[in-house]
Amino acid sequence: MRATFVLVPGAGGRAWYWHRLVPELVGRGHEAVPVDLPAGDDAAGLEHYTQAVLDAVPGRRAGPLVVVAQSMGGLTAPLVCRRLPVELLVLLNAMVPRPGETGADWWTATGQAEARAVAAARQGWPLDDDDAFFGDVPPEVTAAAMTQPFAQSGTPFGEPWPLTGWPDVPTRVLAARDDRFFPVEFQRRVAAERLGLPVEELPGGHLVALSRPAALAEVLDGLVRGRSGQHDGAAVPPLEVP
């Protein structure tokens, strides 16, 4: 089954983040649409981020529409699901907001810093942001990433999340088991508390689309073809095309 994957990046908002994943998805017969977000624009809030995704989605699509949200992209992707006929929302090492909660408050409300520190102490990881993001990314890809412009306005973090509840769209939560920024145990807890959903683990760290693009593509392909991992004893069924 072919699908159109709309790829929403995290902080920094660069479509470049997905450049290693796109050919992997295309090679599996899918369409892949990486999105640039207005991350450096202090006038741009969540509505602008949502509109940027909407503007990127092609009018004619191959098969079901799947929105994949990386990290901070979890603030935007559910808003897109209220505006487009999305068949599947995939949260990838993503923030899971609550109604009325700001992105800035999310960190304390979820206990992210404490969870990161506990995981780092247990695993012997340094509490260093470069390591947390690029620890498992190939050196040449890390070097290329450092040449990319990076800016992230605080504007979308200051806005209360506008939905009154999670969109009525099938949602899957993917967590990289070696994520040093959002440790997998932390992601399991947040997904259970906020969505009542389990987590499907895959290899890699926080920037898994850069470090393990083939493994990620295989999981995403499996989600639409019914080959995903076991959740509560039952395999997730393949998407049905109307």
Alpha carbons 7 and 56: distance in angstroms, whole number: 10
Instruction: State pTM to two decimals.
Output: 0.92
Q: Which residue has the higher pLDDT, 241 or 203?
A: 203
Domain extents for the chain?
4-234
The full DSSP string for 66-134 is: EEEEEGGGGGTHHHHHTTS--SEEEEES-----TT-BHHHHHHHHTHHHHHHHHHHHHT----HHHHHH
Q: Would you state the CATH architecture of domain 4-234?
A: 3-Layer(aba) Sandwich (3.40)
Q: Is 92 left (phi over 0), alpha (psi -120 to 50) or beta?
A: beta
**Model confidence at 58, in pLDDT bands (50, 70, 90)?**
confident
The per-residue pLDDT for 143 is 97
* 205: helix, strand or coil: coil
Q: What is the pLDDT of residues 190-218, one digit of tens each?
A: 999 999 999 999 999 999 999 999 999 99
CA neighbor of 176 nearest in space, from 151, 199, 160: 199
Alpha carbons 218 and 171: distance in angstroms, whole number: 18
Token pair in block for residue 86: 């999305």
